[in-house]
Amino acid sequence: MLLFNDEDKRELLEEVSIYNVCDFLGIEYQNAGCRKSILCPDHLNHNDQHYGSCFIYENTNTAHCFVCNKSFDTIDLLRLNGYGYYDALCQLANLSGSLSRFEKQPDKNNFGYPT
């Protein structure tokens, strides 16, 4: 069983590049000036048809859409593409290449639920 604490989550958000997650999910990105642009991943709020409204920020490993004014980290991208929260963390652990470091036995206070 994979278990994650808050520190694990922070590490995964820093370790796994947003570009790796985009590539895994098949999200295309294009050059838009000095940044890369993706179509807004939040299809429920607006149906983005053009690059240039949602940009990737490498320094924070996030994307931000200026149309819906939302920011997205790698967990958000996975969740918006059908992953539950725990499954998104598991996929990030897999993409990090160090899945085994999250294999832990649940303690009796945690009951195996991710934090």
Phi and psi at residue 72, to the nearest 5°: -135, 130
| 27 Cβ contact partners less than 8 Å away, ≥ 6 residues apart | 21, 38, 39, 41, 77
pTM: 0.84
Question: Cβ atoms within 10 A of the Cβ of 17, count?
Answer: 15
Domain 6-102 in CATH 3.90.580.10 = yes
Q: What does the alpha-carbon distance between residue 51 and residue 66 come to, in Å, rounded to a whole number?
A: 11
- The residues with which 56 forms a beta bridge, in sequence order, are 36, 63
Domain spans in the chain, listed from the N-terminal domain onward: 6-102
pLDDT digits (tens, 9 = 90+) for 25-59: 999 999 988 899 999 999 877 788 889 999 999 99
